[in-house]
Amino acid sequence: MKKSDLISAVAKFTENKKVAEECVDEFFHQIKTDLMEGEGDVSLPGIGKLVVKKTNERKARNPKTGESVTVPAGRKIVLKVSKSLKDSL
């Protein structure tokens, strides 16, 4: 599903594509803001939970040159899929 498909689906309920687009944009903006500010997990009922996890610094190897490099510590987003969605698949 693309963003335009989602906007079209929401527009069926709002009867206004412009309002639907604003709603979808605000929804994604709010999720992005919450994850970036580290205000906790973002729960998507029936789908799962978006969680920000910290990664440790680690050693890696460039497969092309074989050179060893250090990957700095950082953060990543992980989707923990809900049990009901897992079971339905």
- Write down the pTM of the prediction: 0.70
Burial of 59 (0-12, 13-18, 19+ CB in 10 A): exposed
69, amino acid identity: V
The per-residue pLDDT for range 16-71, each reduced to its tens digit, is 899 999 999 999 999 998 888 876 788 889 899 999 988 999 999 999 999 999 99
| Residues 87, 11: Cα–Cα separation, whole Å | 30
CATH T-level topology, domain 40-89? HU Protein; Chain A (4.10.520)
